Amino acid sequence: MEDVVRKLSRRKFIGSSSALAAAGLGLPTQAALAQSAALLQDAAPDYIVTNARVFTSDNSIPSAEAFAVKGDRFLAVGSSDDIQGLAGRSTEIIDAEGMFVAPGFIDAHSHPSGAGVNELVQVNADLRSASSIAEALQERANATPQGQWVQAFKYDDTKLSEGRPLNRDDIDALVPNHPVVVRHRGGHTSVYNSMALGLAGVTSETQDPPGGRFYRDENGRLTGLVAGGARSVFNELIPSDSSREQRRDGVILISELMTQAGLTSVHQTGGSRNDMVAYQDARDAGGMRFRMYLFPRGRLFDDLVNAGVRTGMGDEVFRIGAVKFTADGSASERTMRMSEPYEGRPDDFGLLYMTEEEIHESVENAHRNDYQVAIHANGDVTINMVLDAYERVQTLWPKEDTRHRIEHCSLVNPEILTRIADLGVIPAPFYTYVHYHGNKWVDYGEERMRWMFAHKSFLDYGIPVAPASDYTPGPYEPMMA
């Protein structure tokens, strides 16, 4: 037997194993040598990893030293001696040198396609001062024809050394002749400069629309910060800043980054037509390194239903998931809708993007057309509205194993937890928000913080949890949790 034996650095080992996992690997639910014997009679493993600390996710065999891989499947796990005995002449044996190995992680709510292309075409505003952001915008503006939009993403108001949010004056000082939008990494607010406000016709007298807000200072002057549905007037003016090729390359880039972090399956929520094309183009180019479960955005629902598309269509690499709606604001941007006001803001209960009637109508249409439903609902008020809608459709049109979801499900209480458990609803809470956004929770107060991002409470109530990064709003690295 002429086994190929090599030792890998941690970086190379992670790259090798993540590529395997992204190709479809998953530890069998009953991983044992005896169960793999029939397979091994026909073909020896392609890879064997030995001398590892393997976490199997299988309670019957919780840990192991080694595993064998053939094609897109794990064949066996066990001791290094036993697994090495399965090697054939062409089997590559990898010595993990005691490293920890686990099955790939699943990110149950993320926005990778948009994040990937933004890395390629927009200004990265993940900087630590308002002045640094303005300088980065100025640099891009200097290379952009006057009057054309300059766009930035991944801004975070609480990370700035000035101790205050970015405002229109910061941008105007260095970029007065280009309309500018700086999007918060939370995804629900943006900062615009004066030229952008002027193009949109927004003035201090402009009224806040339902589900939106134009922020003003103590004198009633617009600060440039705009939330929720109030941004739609700007969105109509901003042209696409990416090509089909760039969107494909963005998927290739982000899939590489995510798999390097251990993510091998990702749920893309709020997917657009361009997103679907980008994933297919990346796959055709050989650049899809993770599995994708794509949640089409609600505005595409009628077209998809008329085309015969429904939840579950696809294959093991790309599959259509739930239809996704957004019912309230953001936890990280402090705009989610709650039953009690924000700390220090007695008139601010957050924003609702959908009425109760709209939630019921959307859920009914999707449920009756055999779609899984996923609704973004952060605050307790919104969560209860969504649960009411799920309870109604299951009462009137009962279905088995719908797995309707509440995206984020940030602020709960014992009553909400009981309802979720009774209805069989799946929450998808954030897994990196506490680490990254922890300094924002002062706006919620100590008592509410006890009931936010309640992973342990979900489990205590017997509720399956689908943890999520929500990237770019939260970092995607699962080990950060």
CATH of the domain at 271: 3.20.20.140
Q: What share of the chain is helix, strand, coil (3-state, %, to 5)?
A: 35, 25, 40
Residues 196, 343 within the same domain: no
Residues 205, 269 within the same domain: no
What phi, psi does 412 have (nearest 5°)?
-120, 180
In the chain, the number of structural domains is 3
Residues 365, 344 within the same domain: yes
Residues 229, 251 within the same domain: no
Here the CATH number for the domain that contains residue 159 is 3.10.310.70
Q: Is residue 116 part of a domain?
A: no
Residues 463, 441 within the same domain: yes
What does pTM read for this prediction? 0.91
Q: Is residue 425 part of a domain?
A: yes
Q: Is residue 315 part of a domain?
A: yes
* Axis crossing angle, helix 244-260 with helix 10-22, rounded to the nearest 10: 120
Distances (CA, A) of 227 to 27, 148, 273, 316, 366: 44, 23, 25, 37, 27
Distances (CA, A) of 119 to 62, 157, 247, 253, 260: 39, 19, 10, 9, 17
Q: Is residue 8 part of a domain?
A: yes
Residues 309, 171 within the same domain: no
Q: Is residue 114 part of a domain?
A: no
Distances (CA, A) of 69 to 57, 75, 272: 17, 5, 36
Helix (H) or strand (E) holding 100: strand 100-101
- What gap in Å lies between CA 25 and CA 56, rounded to an integer? 12
Q: Which amino acid appears at position 47 of this protein?
A: Y
* Helices within 397-444 (DSSP H only): 414-423, 433-437
Q: Is residue 390 part of a domain?
A: yes
Structure tokens at 207: 């009224």
Structure tokens at 460: 């205590």
Q: Is residue 354 part of a domain?
A: yes
Q: Is residue 113 part of a domain?
A: no
Q: Name the residue range of residue 379's domain.
A: 244-480
Residues 256, 395 within the same domain: yes
Strand-strand pairing, 291-296 and 263-271: parallel
Residues 283, 379 within the same domain: yes
Helix (H) or strand (E) holding 223: strand 222-228
Residues 198, 341 within the same domain: no
Here the CATH number for the domain that contains residue 19 is 2.30.40.10
Residues 140, 181 within the same domain: yes
Residues 227, 314 within the same domain: no
As averages over each run of 10 residues, the pLDDT of the chain (481 residues) reads 48 48 41 45 86 94 95 92 95 96 96 98 98 99 98 98 98 99 98 99 98 98 99 97 98 98 98 98 98 98 98 98 99 98 97 99 99 99 99 98 98 99 98 94 96 97 98 96 88
DSSP string of 138-206? HHHHHTS-TTS-EEEEEE-GGG-TTSS---HHHHHTT--SS-EEEEETTSSEEEE-HHHHHHHT--TTP
**Final residue belonging to a domain, choices 235, 262, 284:** 235
Residues 351, 407 within the same domain: yes
Model pLDDT, residue 72: 86
